[in-house]
Structure 1
Amino acid sequence: MAKKSSKDTPRAPLTLEADLRIGSAPALRETLLAVLSAGQAVEIDAAAVVQTDTAALQVLAAFSRDARAAGVPVAWTGVSDTLRRGVSTLGLDALIELPAQAGVN
């Protein structure tokens, strides 16, 4: 039987903070860069996000772009309405690729 590598071990979802504004953007960037450098699929839980701004959304957009370029799959396990509205308002839907809302076609 083959030994499982750390790349085979499922990662815990990355849970985003409730306050996702400019003050948290540097830490968010560092966290996402570390996730990206691991080269593993990432699962992001953004259900708790209640505040967001352009700076944090730019960090998420850059991460999404870089993950796609590196072939690193990104899955969203939860998305707050606040985050969804922010992504939509800035026209980042195609870049960040949030999942469709339940019950919405």
Structure 2
Amino acid sequence: MAGKSSKNTGALALDADLRIGAAPTLRDALLSALSAGKPVALDGSAVNQIDAAGLQVLAAFSRDARAAGLTVSWSGASDSLHRGVAVLGLNELIELPARAGTN
């Protein structure tokens, strides 16, 4: 999970499967990024499957990063990730980038 990270930039590439089985690993990777105390860039372009557990981890991370005064940016987000965030009404908390071709 999220094995592609750069300690220098705080970049973290999310795995394709972020369902409940991946939630603990996702949580650990995001907590590690949060503890570095630097802005974090997430790449969710590879996310193919995500469920409520994965979205809860991302939401908690976003909330905690904001509380710590850390910037979280997205270099990409898949359609699956966009759909999951929208269905659970987490748009304002997770703040994904706009989809290509949308206003």
What is the TM-score when the length of structure 2 is the normalising length? 0.89
Task: For structure 2, list consecutive stretches of 5 or more residues without a partner in the other structure.
Answer: 1-6
Residue in 1 that maps onto 2:16: 18
Describe the superposition over 1:26-73 as per-residue Cα deviations: whole angstroms up to 9, x where unpaired: 010011011101110111011000000000000000000000110110
Q: How far did residue 12 of structure 1 move?
A: 5.5
Q: Give the % identical residues.
A: 63
Q: What is the match of residue 54 of structure 2?
A: 56
Shift of 1:103: 2.5
Corresponding residue for residue 68 of structure 1: 66
Partner of 1:79: 77
The separation in 2 between residues aligned to 1:37 and 1:26, in whole angstroms, is: 16
1:56-97 CA-to-partner distances (Å, cap 9, x unmatched) read 000000000000110110110010000000000000001101
Structure possessing the higher radius of gyration over alpha carbons: 1
The answer for the alignment partner of 2:3 in structure 1 is none
Which secondary structure state, in structure 2, belongs to the residue aligned with residue 78 of structure 1? Answer: strand
After superposing on structure 2, the runs of 4+ consecutive aligned residues of structure 1 that deviate more than 3 Å are none
* Cα-to-partner distance string for 1:9-29 (whole Å, 9 max, x where unaligned): 841620100001000000100
Structure 2 residue aligned with 1:41: 39
TM-score, normalised with respect to structure 1: 0.88
SS at the partner of 1:76?
strand
Alpha-carbon contact 2:48-2:81 (below 8 Å) kept: yes
More strand by share: 2
Stretches of structure 1 that go unaligned for 5 or more consecutive residues are: 1-8
The number of aligned residues is 97
- Structure-2 residue corresponding to 1:28: 26
Say what the alpha-carbon RMSD is for the aligned residues.
1.3
